[in-house]
Amino acid sequence: MNIQPPETWPTTVEEALQIQTQLKSLVQTTDQLGTVKYVAGVDVGFKDNYTISQAAVAILSFPDLTLQETAIAQRPTTFPYLPGFLSFREVPVILDVLEKLTITPDLIICDGQGIAHPRRFGLACHLGVLLNQPTIGAAKSLLIGKHDHLPTEKGSWTPLKDQGEIIGAVLRSRTNVRPLYISPGHRMSLETSIDYVLNCITKYRLPETTRWADKLASHT
């Protein structure tokens, strides 16, 4: 992929907050994607007592979910772990790994939040805006918002709300397992985000994109 990363990355919360405020107006939550032939999963793990960030990307063909390409990249960790600012810790090394790809994905599913974020600018939004690519946030845990009761059957979902605004969905990806928290990242609607995540689920809780990326990022 041909990527133009920012010249510098913030090192303080104040700088990061300013960037989130500037870029969040660029997020599009309507469907702006063409035919999806390749879907990517990205994830980040850490080594050497969190001093090294290691990103992995897995490209799968869609809809058959056959693994096509993988890549790994490392760089020093330069931003602390702070809820709501995960993208500044992980996106720099994610851009590094995406640059290694020979296949350009049509859609990227992130192991993190999209607009289900205090400032509506989670990791999937940040990555999507920088790349101008369709992205989805498919997080394993809740960052913000409340929701009604969720049925136990696979495919069930209920809106995730914050201050009266629908910011995502709580999705049951497998019957009787803990849900996922889905939200648009960029150039995706909520309903389409849910559909693509479900179409990337096989027999596990996580979409195949995330399973592959997680395995590579944390166990390689």
Summarised one tens digit per residue, pLDDT across range 179-202 is: 999 999 999 999 999 999 999 999
Please measure the distance between the N-terminal and C-terminal CA atoms of the chain and give it in whole angstroms: 22
Q: What is the pLDDT of residue 220?
A: 67
State the Cα torsion 34-36-37-41 to the nearest 10°.
130
pLDDT at 156 over 80: yes
Summarised one tens digit per residue, pLDDT across range 137-152 is: 999 999 999 999 999 9
In three-state secondary structure terms, 56 is strand
Q: Facing residues of 55 across strands? A: 44, 73
- Mean pLDDT, range 34-62, rounded to an integer: 96
Residue 186: phi and psi, rounded to 5, are -160, 140
Q: Facing residues of 157 across strands? A: 171
pLDDT > 90: what percent of the chain?
94
Q: What is the pLDDT of residue 5?
A: 83
d(CA 55, CA 220): 10
Q: Which residues contact 183 (CB under 8 A, 6 or more apart)?
A: 113, 114, 115, 116, 117, 122, 124, 136, 137, 139, 160, 167, 168, 169, 190, 193
- Mean pLDDT, range 160-168, rounded to an integer: 97
> pTM above 0.75?
yes
Per-residue pLDDT band at 218 (split at 50, 70, 90): confident
